[in-house]
């Protein structure tokens, strides 16, 4: 068997490695196919059916994300039948979706909104029942609004396949189906560790970062890629900055070490940055009270005291303990400082924060 296959997509010849899906092949050829449930890092359930295409000789319209490209295949990604089917699917999703894009946290980043716009679909084709779920606001980090869920199942899969927690699975059936925790309890009562991976993959406003509600529109936020200060793994993510202030953290899919995965601290533990209790200037206790001082004053005072202790009690009366938030370079310096400057081997590090 040859390890390459050549197929025709929208009249264009494409040669791809055997085993490539039609969706990947199209993307390699620069042809965009809309997807909602597909995610390159997760298994493909072929559930949303938005990525359907027409393939000569095949019955119905196969989903391109789960159809393997075959040699000689003739694929059309934008025939009238395909466009009509996609429009119908979007219409059907909108028919069971609250029309509150105006205030929805995901506006501007929502895949459903994007495709509805692209295909010119309005939300008023079908007038029927809309599911009404209470919003799960039970925890400090994640807001779950199942009214906005399109049942793509990405949250289910990312939690199982990447995070390994399997907090969600689909519950109920048919029109009532939703991704739910065990026994359909609020997230706070589940075994969720609030890593927020599910939030990072949700294509709609069904799962959102609670602390980012109302702090700014996606297009107003500047994304600054940085390394997480919490532990030595070195995860990367984007600080979301507005008017010089960090207002949130979102995954950066390009992050080399961690991809979109983060832990609760990295993703949600950024409040300290602008916290009023945070120390930003050195303080020296004078007459029993802390008073602001300059760095020079403070460092001189500490150096003096170190010298005194060393003279009176010897260098081993001193010890250095570095923070888990120190980088390798900082730790190296601390090590030099302890051994070469203070003259002690008493140095340690707290492994976790």
Q: Do the beta carbons of residue 195 and residue 262 sit within 8 Å?
A: yes
Smallest gap from residue 150 Cβ to ligand SF4 (A): 5
Angstrom distance (rounded) from CA 69 to CA 203 = 26
Smallest gap from residue 37 Cβ to ligand FES (A): 3
* 207: contact with ligand SF4 by CB under 6 A: yes
Q: Which of 55, 69, 198, 255 binds ligand SF4 (CB under 6 A)?
A: 198
Residue 111 contact, options ligand SF4, another protein, ligand FES, none, Cβ 5-8 Å cut-off depending on partner type: none
**What is the contact mask toward another protein in residues 122 to 151, using x (rule: CB under 8 A)?**
---xx-xx--------------------xx
Q: In what order do the strands lie in the sheet with 236-242?
A: 222-227, 236-242, 245-250
**Residue 229 has what DSSP assignment?**
S
Smallest gap from residue 41 Cβ to ligand FES (A): 14
Interface region with another protein, contact rule CB under 8 A, candidates 55-63, 106-114, 199-207, 322-330: 55-63
Angstrom distance (rounded) from CA 242 to CA 240 = 7
Q: Which of 16, 22, 31, 47 binds another protein (CB under 8 A)?
A: 47
Backbone angles phi, psi at 28, to 5 degrees: -65, -30
Q: Which of 86, 97, 154, 260 binds ligand SF4 (CB under 6 A)?
A: 154
Smallest gap from residue 23 Cβ to ligand SF4 (A): 18
Angstrom distance (rounded) from CA 79 to CA 110 = 25
Q: How far is CA 322 from CA 34, 304, 348, in A?
A: 49, 20, 6
Considering CB under 6 A, how many residues would be counted as binding ligand SF4? 26
- Using CA atoms of 209, 213, 218, 224 in order, give the dihedral in degrees to the nearest 10: -60
Angstrom distance (rounded) from CA 195 to CA 141 = 9
Q: Do the beta carbons of residue 230 and residue 325 sit within 8 Å?
A: yes
Which residue is associated with the tokens 């609020």?
186
* 347: contact with ligand SF4 by CB under 6 A: no
**What is the contact mask toward ligand SF4 in residues 64 to 93, using x (rule: CB under 6 A)?**
------------------------------
Could you tell me how many helices (H) and strands (E) the chain has, helices first? 8, 15
Which residues of this chain interact with ligand SF4, rule CB under 6 A? Answer: 149-155, 158-159, 163, 165, 167, 179, 192-198, 201-204, 206-207
Which residues of this chain interact with another protein, rule CB under 8 A? Answer: 44-50, 52, 60-61, 63, 66, 68, 81, 84-85, 88-89, 92-93, 95-96, 125-126, 128-129, 150-151, 153, 169-170, 172-177
């Amino acid at each position: 068997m040859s390890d390459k296959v050549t197929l025709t997509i929208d009249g264009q010849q494409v040669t791809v490695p055997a085993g490539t899906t039609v969706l990947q092949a199209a993307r390699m050829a620069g042809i965009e196919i809309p997807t909602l449930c597909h995610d390159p890092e997760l298994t493909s359930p072929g559930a949303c059916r938005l990525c359907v295409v027409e393939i000569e000789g095949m019955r119905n319209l196969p989903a391109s994300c789960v159809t393997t490209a075959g040699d000689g295949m003739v694929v059309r990604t934008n025939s009238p039948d395909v466009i009509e089917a996609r429009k119908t699917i979007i219409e059907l999703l909108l028919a069971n979706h609250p029309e509150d894009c105006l205030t929805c946290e995901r506006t501007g980043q929502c895949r459903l909104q994007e495709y509805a716009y692209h295909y010119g679909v309005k939300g008023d084709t079908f007038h029927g029942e809309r599911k009404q779920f209470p919003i799960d606001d039970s925890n400090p980090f994640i807001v779950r609004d199942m009214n906005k869920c399109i049942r793509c199942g990405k949250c289910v899969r990312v939690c199982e396949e990447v995070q390994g927690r399997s907090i969600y699975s689909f519950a109920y059936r048919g029109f009532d189906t939703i991704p739910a925790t065990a026994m359909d309890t609020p997230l706070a009562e589940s075994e969720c560790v609030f890593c927020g991976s599910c939030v990072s993959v949700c294509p709609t406003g069904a799962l959102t970062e609670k602390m980012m509600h109302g702090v700014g529109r996606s297009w107003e936020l500047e994304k600054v890629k940085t390394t997480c200060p919490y532990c030595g793994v070195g995860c990367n993510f984007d600080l979301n900055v507005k008017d010089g202030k960090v207002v949130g953290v979102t995954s950066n899919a390009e992050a080399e070490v961690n991809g979109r995965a983060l832990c609760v601290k990295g993703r949600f533990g950024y409040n300290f940055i602008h916290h009023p209790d945070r120390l930003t200037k050195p303080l020296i206790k004078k007459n029993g009270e802390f008073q602001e001082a300059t760095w020079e004053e403070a460092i001189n005072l500490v150096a003096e005291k170190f010298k005194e202790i060393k003279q009176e009690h010897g260098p081993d009366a001193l010890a250095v303990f570095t923070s888990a938030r120190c980088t390798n370079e900082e730790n190296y310096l601390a090590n030099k400082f302890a051994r070469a400057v203070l003259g002690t081997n008493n140095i340690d590090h707290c492994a976790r924060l």
